[in-house]
Amino acid sequence: MLTTVLVMLAAAPAPIRLAAPDWTTVNMNADLGSFYAGEFARALRAEGLEVITAKDIQTLLGVDRQRQLLGCTESSCIAELGSALGCERVLNGQLAQLDDTFRGTLRVISSLSGLVLAEEPVEAKGQKALVSALEKAARRMAKKLKPPPPPPNLTWVPVVVGGTAVTVAGAVFFGAAASNASKISAQSDERVAVRLADEGKAFETTAWIMAGVGAAAIATGVVMAVTGFPPPKVSPTVSVTSNGASVGVSGVFP
């Protein structure tokens, strides 16, 4: 009996979370400014980011506390706002209307260090054009905030290829053992029959070992491919008995 044990634990990355209070607007209706802030938040959510809007902040902190924090420009206030909302990033928006042209700057600030993590200028002529410009700015900003994808882990490829080759070799020895077994019944010479039997047992033992090692190597390669673990952290284990073999994977998992 061949038993393969796979332990695969993959931790999903935590989503990027932003606190997005009301924007600072110049020469604009407050409701219009809130609308554009909401559109930008919607575009960021479409990119996979979590955004806590001004209405959410008002609900969580209350009107008075929200005004106190948002009216303060010190980094300590930004840190307190992020801590109160469970966010390490705060979105700061500034938007002005100059005749029929809108111009502004959107910044994501770390509530831990006060550093600007991402910044996007936005400019558009007309209200509808501004919505499109904000959507494009959201895509660019989300790209800046998201960590780059890790390089592909290909260390598992030779493990799987080698395991497959060893398993195939084991199958060849199983075939040789079966061939010897079929010759024994037709053999009249007892000494030849004993020799064939001994060779068959040796072939069978070798086949079990190769099949076990190959299967364990393939299992290890699967674990490495899924979890990204390097070879030193996972390794196959094989135990061969007279009744079969046991295969497992051992190592350090997160």
Model confidence at 236: pLDDT above 50: yes
SS3 letters for 107-121?
EEEECCCCCEEEEEE
Structure confidence at residue 205 (pLDDT): 72
* Spatial contact of 107 and 92, defined as CB atoms under 8 Å apart: yes
- Which residues partner with 15 through β-bridges? none
Is residue 196 a contact partner of residue 180, using CB atoms and an 8 Å limit? yes
Query: CA-based angle 216:217:218, to the nearest 5?
Result: 90
Lowest mean pLDDT among 5-9, 60-64, 211-215, 224-228: 5-9
The Cα–Cα gap between 204 and 244 comes to 10
Q: What is the pLDDT of residue 191?
A: 72
| pLDDT at residue number 201 | 74
Q: What is the DSSP letter of 254?
A: -
Residue-level pLDDT at 147:
82
Percent of the chain beyond pLDDT 90? Answer: 26
Let me know if 170 is exposed, middle or buried by CB neighbors in 10 A (0-12, 13-18, 19+): buried
Strands 116-125 and 101-110: antiparallel
- Residue 141 near residue 151, CB atoms below 8 Å: no
Q: Give residue 40's pLDDT.
A: 96
As a whole number, mean pLDDT of residues 65-69 equals 59
Residue 64 reports pLDDT greater than 80: no
Span 46-67, average pLDDT:
76
Q: Average pLDDT of the chain?
A: 73
* 58-78 as b/e: b if 16+ CB within 10 A: eeebeeeebeebbeeeeeebb
Helix ranges, the chain (H) = 30-46, 54-61, 63-70, 75-85, 127-145, 156-184, 190-227
The domains of the chain, with CATH numbers, are 17-145 (3.40.50.10070), 156-251 (no CATH)
Residue 248 has pLDDT above 60, yes or no: no
Q: What is the pLDDT of residue 1?
A: 33
Q: Return the sign of the alpha-carbon dihedral for residues 42, 44, 49, 51.
A: negative
Q: Are 98 and 114 in contact (CB under 8 A)?
A: no
Q: Using pLDDT thresholds of 50, 70 and 90, give the confidence band for residue 240.
A: low
Measured distance between the N- and C-terminal CA atoms of the chain, rounded to whole angstroms: 30
**pLDDT at position 113, please?**
84
* For helices 75-85 and 54-61, angle between their N-to-C axes, nearest 10 degrees: 80
Model confidence pTM above 0.85: no
Rounded Cα distance between 113 and 105, Å, is: 20
